[in-house]
Chain A
Amino acid sequence: MSSKIKLIGLSSALSVMALSAAAQDPVSLTIVSWGGAYTASQQRAYHEPYMEMNPHVTIINDDGSANALAGLRAQAQAGNVTWDLVDMLPSDAQLACDEGIILQIDHDEMLAAAPDGTPASEDFLPGSLGECFIPQIVYSTVLTYRPDAFPEDNQPSSIADLFDVENFPGRRALQDRPGTNLEWALYADGVDPDDIYDVLATPEGVDRAFAKLDTIKDHIVFWTEGAQAPQLLADGEVAFATGYNGRMFDAIEVEGMNADIIWDGQVVEWDGWVVPADGPNLDLVMEYLYFATDTQRLADQAKFISYGPARASSAALVGEHADLGIDMGPHMPTAPENYFSPIVLDNDFWVDYGDELRERFANWMLQ
């Protein structure tokens, strides 16, 4: 009798071992992100430590985030989902979520709590969590200028100066989309940052923003790709350029470009993960996400790129740049000395009004 029990015990132990061996079969996760310095920062802060802990997992980077929405829909419609995890903007995530092609997220259930026990839903910065969206970073669109384009006693310092071509002459590089530009036009026209989207939701508000943009129209060079903005500044093609703060940090601190960032009116947005529904390795992805979005990992990413971690508990852990040795704190969009008049991008607004405003903006650019 007892030997029989032993036998059962042994065989079940064996089957458990067989199971865990099966779990250790080599797997590869395809993670879609933005490429360049951004993917590199994720590679070093998330992927490499995770692969070290789980030697059977290989992470493959796919630089498809710019067209992730189309990719997700195409894969879902073809019934052949090959992406495991996708990095995208919250407005795109909202569209994908509405279509039901990415998973809904129960943040407290699926994500790690802060070290002090604060649940994830309270630890992530207010307004950053989406139905299907897990934020990683805060980034902002900032105004940058060349100090040598203006006399030393008359340097620009605010968004209003961008719209003041008399005191601050020179060409301005703006992105060729309505987002950020319309917000800044209203802000420079005297609208309070908190009221911008209420004003922009009315036809009169839109007219007002375009009228303000009209005043600098002849001085604008439009850029499309993120890399173009620092390039235009570095080449001396423009005196002002709008751009993503991480790219500007890279150009100024790493490449040594002669330019300064104006943090006034920075337009703040999140970037983060979504999980394709019906992905090939859902359980493993959830395990990876739990690891990659914890307090320490988010703080680690800031060692490699100047975007702010999306968790409040990570802020204190942000240290020096891994290669440059610069203290990264003051370069974060969320640093108190930079975060004095932020405009928080309203994704719901842009999902609702984006089509209409973009048409009007495209029309305006051509006139």
Chain B
Amino acid sequence: MAMADATDQHGAPTDSKGRLLTSDGTPLRRALERANRRRKLTALALVGPLLAFILIFFAFPIAQMMWRSVDNPQVVDALPRTLEALQAWDGRDVPPEPVFAALHADMMEDLDRTRREQKFGPLGIRLNYELSAARSAISRTARSVPGFEAPYRDAFTDAHRLWGQPELWRVIKREGRPLTLSYYVAALDREYDEFGDIVKRDENRRIYVNLFGRTLALSLAITFMTFLLGFPIAYYLSILPMRHANLLMIAVLLPFWTSLLVRTSAWIVLLQQQGVINNTLVALGIIGDDGRFSLIYNQTGTIIAMTHILLPFMVLPLYSVMRTIPPSYMRAAKSLGATPWTAFRRVYFPQTLPGIGAGGVLVFIISIGYYITPALVGGQSGRMISNEIARHIQQSLNWGLAAALGTMLLVGVLVLYWLYNRLVGADSLKLG
């Protein structure tokens, strides 16, 4: 330990180079660094579990999902020889005999593998995404392939018509790469034509782009509705005495505490054509019996039910912001000659913007990925892109396409958030 060589003009110990020392003789700078580092480590140890949790259960699955949207191992794994033989093929006519011989060799090798290891099942499912009936071309051929004899080309084309069509071979050659863009191509309602160019799909098969647009429009409509309904409630809550405010707050939060299915069923009872609302209107003579409103199983149903569910997410941030606005500002504005409307518009409303921003972003982001409610009350026109993603995950098992749609949704939300940040500023958000 270095002893102090001297003292500075205030009497503090310094070393020979004039650096400040602590009482035990270490340079002050190093002692401070050490203390800082220890504090940082403690902080890291405290947030460590949460950080690890987020990495393992949030960041990693998202990365994995994005990986799935381009991962394309099936063709490469199943057809190594065929792909090599296809390299010289020009993509016009049915490939020549050596390609079929290579395909035969690949299939024979696959039959020796154990059931779990076999590559041709997944291959058929993968190719069927690109070309209908490719799956049965593979599975039917695989059953009879041990009996095939040269020339293989005839044997294969006899086993299934698709082997005699260049289309299937083009798909095999195109997807014979470990990474693919074809899930994104499909998610954008596009496909590859015979020259390998990306073109728009047949008009009667386009669905996803429209669905993205509709999801966006519905989410904006729901956000706007929650704002319209939530703003007066939040304002009323903020000016009530505490004990009354609490009671009203419970009413606002009640939807949170009710099972989603109960709430949705209640909406069905209310809104359907033979439901409470329509029956009441007919009984009062406001509408005729054949003029009943379609309030559910369409976009209206989705907007009504989701506005109800997401209302608290708008009310809570608004309320927390409004409570901090001193009532004296409004009184001051009025005493300076503003009409109530001007006072509200120029003094009160601008101060609620952080709450509106926070509530709006929250409601919008939640509703863009919502899927249970639209599935139950949305009918056809009220369904959103998340319903399609869930379908591909759970039923069609096309996880690649689901991942591509999901990634596009994620990127879309991030872009919108970035825009919001540029236009309004994310630091103005106030969540409570």
Chain A interface residues (CB < 8 Å from chain B): 66-67, 69-70, 73, 95, 97-101, 104, 176, 201, 210, 221-222, 224, 235-237, 277-278, 348, 351-356, 358-360, 362-366
- How many angstroms from the CA of A66 to the CA of B134 in the assembled complex? 26
User: Is the Cβ of A70 less than 8 Å from the Cβ of B397?
Assistant: yes
Can you give 8 contacting A-B residue pairs, CB < 8 Å? A95-B397, A98-B124, A99-B125, A222-B380, A348-B136, A352-B136, A355-B128, A362-B207
In whole Å, how far is A4's beta carbon from the nearest beta carbon of chain B? 45
Question: Of the 9-residue stretches B30-38, B111-119, B324-332, B414-422, which lies at the interface with chain A?
Answer: B111-119
Question: Of the 9-residue stretches B87-95, B165-173, B305-313, B388-396, which lies at the interface with chain A?
Answer: B388-396
User: Is the Cβ of A353 less than 8 Å from the Cβ of B116?
Assistant: no
Chain B interface residues (CB < 8 Å from chain A): 115-118, 121-122, 124-125, 128-129, 132-136, 139, 204-207, 210, 272-274, 297, 375-376, 379-381, 393-398
Chain B interface mostly: helix
- How many angstroms from the CA of A100 to the CA of B297 in the assembled complex? 39
Interchain CB contact (< 8 A) of B204 among A97, A352, A360: A360
Contacts A237-B274, A363-B205: A100 and B121 contacting too (C-beta < 8 A)? yes
User: Is the Cβ of A363 less than 8 Å from the Cβ of B380?
Assistant: no
User: Is the Cβ of A277 less than 8 Å from the Cβ of B116?
Assistant: yes
- Which residue of chain A has its CB nearest to the CB of B379? A222
User: Is the Cβ of B375 less than 8 Å from the Cβ of A224?
Assistant: yes
- Which residue of chain A has its CB nearest to the CB of B269? A235
In whole Å, how far is B121's beta carbon from the nearest beta carbon of chain A? 3
User: Is the Cβ of A95 less than 8 Å from the Cβ of B125?
Assistant: yes
User: Is the Cβ of A99 less than 8 Å from the Cβ of B204?
Assistant: no
Interchain CB contact (< 8 A) of B274 among A100, A236, A358, A365: A236
Contacts A235-B274, A356-B205: A100 and B116 contacting too (C-beta < 8 A)? yes
In whole Å, how far is A200's beta carbon from the nearest beta carbon of chain B? 11
In whole Å, how far is B257's beta carbon from the nearest beta carbon of chain A? 25
- Which residue of chain B has its CB nearest to the CB of A207? B204
- Residues from chain A with a CB closer than 8 A to the CB of B134 are 352
Beyond the given A69-B397, A73-B397, A356-B205, please list 15 additional residue pairs across the A-B interface where CB-CB is below 8 A.
A70-B395, A70-B397, A95-B125, A98-B122, A98-B125, A100-B117, A100-B121, A104-B115, A351-B136, A352-B132, A352-B133, A355-B129, A363-B204, A363-B205, A363-B207
In whole Å, how far is B125's beta carbon from the nearest beta carbon of chain A? 6
- Residues from chain A with a CB closer than 8 A to the CB of B379 are 221-222
User: Is the Cβ of B118 less than 8 Å from the Cβ of A353?
Assistant: no
User: Is the Cβ of B205 less than 8 Å from the Cβ of A366?
Assistant: no
- How many angstroms from the CA of A236 to the CA of B395 in the assembled complex? 31
In whole Å, how far is A223's beta carbon from the nearest beta carbon of chain B? 9
- Residues from chain B with a CB closer than 8 A to the CB of A355 are 128-129, 132, 396, 398
Contacts A67-B394, A353-B132, A355-B132: A364 and B204 contacting too (C-beta < 8 A)? yes
Contacts A354-B396, A365-B380: A222 and B210 contacting too (C-beta < 8 A)? no
Interchain CB contact (< 8 A) of B207 among A73, A100, A176, A359: A359
User: Is the Cβ of A66 less than 8 Å from the Cβ of B394?
Assistant: yes
- How many angstroms from the CA of A235 to the CA of B269 in the assembled complex? 10
- Residues from chain B with a CB closer than 8 A to the CB of A365 are 380
- Residues from chain A with a CB closer than 8 A to the CB of B210 are 366
- Residues from chain B with a CB closer than 8 A to the CB of A104 are 115
- How many angstroms from the CA of A95 to the CA of B129 in the assembled complex? 13
What are the nearest 8 A-B pairs in CB distance?
Answer: A98-B121, A67-B394, A352-B133, A365-B380, A70-B394, A359-B205, A356-B132, A100-B116
- Which residue of chain B has its CB nearest to the CB of A72? B397
Contacts A360-B204, A364-B204: A100 and B115 contacting too (C-beta < 8 A)? yes
- How many angstroms from the CA of A95 to the CA of B397 in the assembled complex? 9
- Which residue of chain B has its CB nearest to the CB of A104? B115
- Residues from chain A with a CB closer than 8 A to the CB of B393 are 70
Interchain CB contact (< 8 A) of A237 among B139, B205, B273: B273
In whole Å, how far is A154's beta carbon from the nearest beta carbon of chain B? 20
